[in-house]
């Protein structure tokens, strides 16, 4: 049995997959925000409870909103800040009595979609999360590419190409991709261009109904996404790019963005496939299970 844990800011979810990838169990509990010992206890309780219900043990993989430092073994870059500086893997291994694998949640998303999702069979996959934040992960021949600094695929905090106005990002840099391509980024751009305070879902719906301001906002978003993904294609040249997160549900992206990114890719043609995640919000927890 493979157990996957998705450690999110508001919920912790467990999934159990058998050897064929079939789901045998799924449960979730609220994340004890700000309480590291309780977080470790919650994960431990989910795994032990699942094993008792299924009558079988298994491997454990955990997807987190951050990364484990290869230098110290401590968590870094986590927006669930109570995890930062903590030896999460070592503590879980001690509590569960077995090895545990930990990976960034965007890497888990990419692995899930490369293993048996929208990019199954592709040699090189770039997985993208477009939601409250922007993340990315790279899978090569079925293996997550973590990198020597454990930051491979972290395109969300690179500069957005082609933008002259570079607002400050919480990470300390300016003009990050996340500022433009996240859900809050789309809503902020719409307001800054004189539009009403609308959610991304409202912007998409009103654009489809013929609202010119909302249509202009979506067109800017598509241009920016195309430029940002073109930089990934120029460096990684993936067979497939898979979109996840709330903004991946904008249907028009899958036709409009590939039509735009060719102008920014250093090639006479672009064969890269742009696809919507097969498993949606479940990809992260499935990918954590597939770490084994």
Weakest-pLDDT range from 6-10, 105-109, 230-234: 6-10
| Residues 159 and 225 both lie in one domain | yes
Question: Would you say 289 and 3 are in contact if contact means Cβ atoms under 8 Å apart?
Answer: yes
36-to-40, 51, 80, 268 alpha-carbon distances in Å: 6, 23, 10, 51
Residue 263 has pLDDT above 80, yes or no: yes
| Residues 149 and 244 both lie in one domain | yes
Rounded mean pLDDT of 64-83?
91
| Residues 195 and 233 both lie in one domain | yes
| Residues 152 and 272 both lie in one domain | yes
| Residues 125 and 240 both lie in one domain | yes
Question: Is 114 a domain residue?
Answer: no
What mean pLDDT value characterizes the chain? Answer: 95
Q: pLDDT band at residue 133, thresholds of 50, 70 and 90? A: confident
What's the total number of domains in the chain? 2
What does the block give as tokens for 170? 């919480």
Q: Would the pTM count as exceeding 0.85?
A: yes
Which domain CATH number covers 132?
A: 3.30.420.40
What is the rounded CA–CA span in Å between residue 103 and residue 138? 12
What is the rounded CA–CA span in Å between residue 288 and residue 107? 9
Which residues form the domain of 31? 2-108+283-289
Percent share of the chain, pLDDT over 70: 100
Residue 79 has pLDDT above 80, yes or no: no
Question: Is 113 a domain residue?
Answer: no
Looking at residue 260, its pLDDT comes to 98
> Bridge-partner residues for 168, per DSSP?
174
Looking at residue 204, its pLDDT comes to 97
Residue 20 has pLDDT above 90, yes or no: no
| Residues 196 and 262 both lie in one domain | yes
Taking the CA atoms of the chain, what radius of gyration do you get in angstroms? 19
Looking at residue 144, its pLDDT comes to 94
| Residues 268 and 139 both lie in one domain | yes
What is the rounded CA–CA span in Å between residue 185 and residue 131? 10
């Amino acid at each position: 049995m493979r157990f996957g844990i998705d450690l999110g800011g508001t919920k912790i979810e467990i999934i159990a997959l058998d050897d064929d990838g079939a789901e045998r169990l799924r449960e979730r509990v609220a994340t004890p925000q700000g309480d590291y010992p309780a977080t470790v206890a919650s994960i431990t309780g989910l795994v032990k409870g699942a094993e008792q219900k299924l009558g079988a043990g298994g491997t454990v993989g955990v997807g987190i909103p951050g990364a484990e430092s290869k230098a110290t073994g401590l968590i870094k870059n986590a927006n669930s800040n109570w995890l930062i500086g903590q030896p999460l893997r070592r503590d879980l291994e001690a509590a569960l009595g077995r090895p545990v694998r930990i990976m960034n949640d965007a890497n888990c998303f990419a692995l899930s979609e490369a293993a048996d999702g929208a990019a199954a069979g592709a040699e090189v996959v770039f997985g993208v999360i477009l939601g409250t934040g922007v993340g990315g992960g790279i899978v090569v021949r079925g293996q997550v590419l973590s990198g020597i600094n454990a930051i491979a695929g972290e395109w969300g905090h690179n500069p957005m190409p082609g933008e002259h106005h570079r607002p400050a990002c919480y990470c300390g840099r300016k003009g990050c991709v996340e500022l433009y391509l996240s859900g809050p980024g789309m809503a902020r751009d719409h307001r800054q261009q004189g539009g009403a305070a609308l959610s991304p879902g409202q912007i998409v719906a009103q654009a489809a109904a013929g609202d010119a301001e909302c249509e202009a906002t979506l067109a800017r978003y598509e241009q920016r996404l195309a430029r940002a993904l073109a930089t990934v294609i120029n460096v990684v040249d993936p067979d497939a790019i898979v979109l996840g997160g709330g903004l991946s549900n904008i249907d028009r992206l899958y036709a409009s963005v590939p039509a735009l990114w060719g102008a920014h890719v250093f090639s006479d043609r672009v064969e890269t496939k742009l696809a919507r995640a097969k498993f949606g919000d479940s990809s992260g927890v499935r990918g954590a299970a597939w770490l084994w």
